[in-house]
Each structure stands twice: as C-alpha cells, then as structure tokens.
Amino acid sequence: MQGQRILLIVGGGIAAYKACELIRLLRKAGASVRCVLTAGGAHFVTPMTLAALSENPVYTSLWDLKDETEMGHIQLSREADLVVVCPATADLMAKMAAGIADDLATTLLLATDKRVLAVPAMNVRMWLHEATRRNVKRLRDDGVEVIEPDEGEMACGEYGPGRLPEPEAVVAAIRKILPGTGSGTAGEAGGGGAGTHALPAAPPRAFGARSPSPKGEDLSGRHLLITAGPTHEPIDPVRVIANRSSGKQGFAIAEALAELGARVTLVAGPVALPTPVGVHRVDVETAEQMQAAVDAALPADAAVLVAAVADWRVDPAASKLKKADGPPQLAWRENPDILAGLARSHLRPKLLIGFAAETGNVVEIAREKRLRKGCDWILANDVSGEVMGGDLNSIHLITAEGVEHWAEAPKADVARRLARRIADALA
C-alpha cells in the first residue's frame, strides 16, 4: 500500500475507536491517512488522537477558513486515492444515499471523484431496518463499496449483524479496492511516511461511475441460506443414527456464494470441515435443530438445502441401551421435511433449491421430487459411486424449464457454477 493516500471519514459511533487502529495499520502498510471527523465522531474520539496517529491535520468543519485556505474541501476529496468511511453510521449512509451535503464529511463524499468504501457499524435493528437496506442498496448501485458488518454481541447488549468489522478486515477490503495492493503485494512492510505518491496502476473507479457488474456475478446485499452435512439422531446418550454425507458440497457452495459477495448463513450438521471465509456458520446436530436454525436465519433471498437430513428419528433412551437386554425396539417418528416446509412458508425464499441424492433412475425421481417438495430447482446426483465423501460430483440440474447435465467436476467447480446461476437468477 506504499504511497497510497486514504481519506478517512470517522463517523459517530462507539466503534469510532477502531478507526484509530485502522490508521495505525494503514500507516504500517505504507499508506498516508488524512482524517475527517464528523461532529458525532468527535463525541467518541478526539481530533488530537487522530492527528497524532495520522501525523496529519484533522478536518472537522466545512466553515474553517484556515483549513479552506490551506486545502479546499474539493481538493481534500480529490487528493486521495480512496475515501474510507469508518464507522459509517446509519445516518451518514442515509445522507450519502440521498446526496445530502450538510457538513464537511458529506460534502466531501458528494464532491469526490474517487472510490468510496463504507464500513458500517450500528445497532442490529438499525442495520436490518428497511430504510437502511434501501440506502445500502442505493449506495451499492451508485458504486460505493459497502462491506458487510460483523455479527455478534453489540455494545448496546443486542446480538446480530451490525458490528464494525475488525480493522484487519477493513485493511483487507481496502487492499482489494486499491489497484496493485491486493494481498500478497510485495514490498509493503513498514514505512509509514507519506513520501511521494505512487501513481495507481489503473485509474480508480469513481463513486457514481460503477461499471456494471456482468449479469450473474454479484450477490452483494443478498442473504443466502445453506444447509449442509448429515444430521445425527440420538438413540441413547452414546449412539446416533447417521449417514455418509461429508458436507463438502454444501460448504463449497457456501464459500462460492460468499466469494460473489453474498451474506451467507451455513447451517451445518456434524462435520469436521473448516468454516469458509466470510460465512456465518450455525452448527446443529439433529433434524429438528436444523429446522430451528433455518427458521431463525430467515428471511433469505435464496436457500440451497444440501444437507442429508435424516428422515426418521427415535425418542432417545435416557441411559445407554445394554446388549444384555437384546436388540432394541426403536419407535420411529418422521422428522420435519425442512425443504418442503420452507416451500410452503410465508418466508419462502425467492429461489429455493434442493438436492436429490439417488442411486438409480436419478433424473426421473428428482423431477418428481422437485414438484412434490415445491422447490424451484433440484440438483440431482447419483450417489451409487464415490460421490459421498469424495471430491467429484456430476450433477443434473432440474428446473421448470427442463434438465441440464453437468459433466463430472470437482465439488468446488460445481459450487462456483451453481453460485453464478443463482446470481443470474436473482439479478
């Protein structure tokens, strides 16, 4: 990031303190930072702190004549290589979306011809509010990069999405945007001086001049729900009914969707797989727990139910069944059909996708299953070979329009192909 110039707008919120660490990391990576502090932001961090960390003057007012003679606000907004708003409050993003310019920060944001990255932080209800959803969508349509907030416990005591991402994640997002600074760029250690400003390798894309993403390549702002892996249905405290699902295909799909910018909730049965980067994982064991986790994750724009859910459960014995008592009589009960239930739900995702693992007559059975379960697409595969637990999969995609046969490919490739199809369908 050597020589890159960041204009950092610090909005008002408890997360403003993380802006201090962000400045430190950016300077360590070789960037120079100029800060603009909003009136709200000044309640949480002082201009003195930001000035000391950035080793640059801090700008707070549109009406400061001294600042205006030294550097006009238009110049300030144009001299940067990237404008970063961190934390971006609900109020600040609403003003940005509406084009309001009633203080220095919002005036700069309207005057800039540079890329803008907004890092939101707010209460979970504010983040999920229709008005904020609308504003985020409008900003993204306008070409502003709005990264997803973290999910977790908030300063206000509530839980959910809205926490400011860690400064390291913000630096990673900045690297993705600034030309020539992607992760792995050599020669970035240390430094910290503003020095000479290296010219970016390619002109940055300006706010308001977003090149339209190719159809089907962008899932930002979408919530995708995935189920994956087997379920385990307990028989007694030590035994379960299980199946051979490895979870690999579902995890690969979650990863591919996150790569296209979606917010992904992955409800995972018992599997020993790492959580894909950027994916929110909810671990469950039984079909009933999976059902509850799916319900809690709604609403979603699309859902892909890959899990091999046990169709049956038994009422588990309270203590270990003993061999001496002879073969147990298990009283079977039917588990909820999560896919069929979701298809009937008033929160049915716009695009609902199921899987069908069959051992013969694959396409015929899957066609019938699509209609019976009420989903839009079924991905059918023949699991009589090595598919379960293996790394390859060959898929028949069954939709209302017909059947597509996908050649055998690694599960990661199948996942990426499906993710692009989903993005296309939701575009």
As annotated, the active-site residues are: 156
* 356 forms part of the interface with ligand CTP (CB under 6 A): yes
CA–CA distance, 258 with 55 (Å, rounded to integer): 37
* 357 forms part of the interface with ligand CTP (CB under 6 A): yes
| DSSP reduced 3-state for 89 | coil
CA–CA distance, 86 with 117 (Å, rounded to integer): 8
Angle at 30 between CA 162 and CA 50, to 5 degrees: 55
Report the nearest approach of ligand CTP to the CB of residue 32 (Å): 51
The residue among 34, 46, 44 whose CA lies nearest residue 114 is 34
With the CA atoms of 252, 255, 261 and 263 taken in that order, what torsion angle do they form, in degrees rounded to the nearest 10?
110
Instruction: Give the interface segment with ligand CTP, choosing from 22-30, 251-259, 354-362, 398-406 (CB under 6 A).
Output: 354-362
* 309 forms part of the interface with ligand CTP (CB under 6 A): yes
Instruction: Give the interface segment with ligand CTP, choosing from 17-25, 127-135, 333-341, 396-404 (CB under 6 A).
Output: 333-341
* 335 forms part of the interface with ligand CTP (CB under 6 A): yes
Angle at 103 between CA 97 and CA 106, to 5 degrees: 30
Report the nearest approach of ligand CTP to the CB of residue 158 (Å): 30
Per-residue binding letters, 228-267, with ligand CTP (x by CB under 6 A) = ----------------------------------------
| DSSP reduced 3-state for 225 | strand
* 355 forms part of the interface with ligand CTP (CB under 6 A): yes
Size of the site for ligand CTP (CB under 6 A): 14
DSSP string, 288-311: HHHHHHHHHH---SEEEE--B--S
CA–CA distance, 330 with 76 (Å, rounded to integer): 74
Beta carbon nearer to ligand CTP, 70 or 364: 364
Per-residue binding letters, 264-303, with ligand CTP (x by CB under 6 A) = -----------------------x----------------
> Pairing between strand 233-236 and 312-314?
unpaired
Beta carbon nearer to ligand CTP, 142 or 311: 311
Range list of H helices, 3-63: 16-28, 47-54
Report the nearest approach of ligand CTP to the CB of residue 214 (Å): 29
Per-residue binding letters, 13-42, with ligand CTP (x by CB under 6 A) = ------------------------------
Amino acid in position 423: A
Beta carbon nearer to ligand CTP, 97 or 366: 366
* 337 forms part of the interface with ligand CTP (CB under 6 A): yes
Amino acid in position 210: R
377 near 353, Cβ under 8 Å?
yes
* Residue from 8, 307, 387, 426 binding ligand CTP (CB under 6 A): 307
Q: How far is CA 34 from the centre of its chain?
A: 29
* Residue from 96, 354, 388, 416 binding ligand CTP (CB under 6 A): 354
Angular region, 181: left φ>0, alpha ψ -120 to 50, beta rest? alpha
Residues that bind ligand CTP (CB under 6 A): 227, 287, 305, 307, 309, 311, 335, 337-339, 354-357
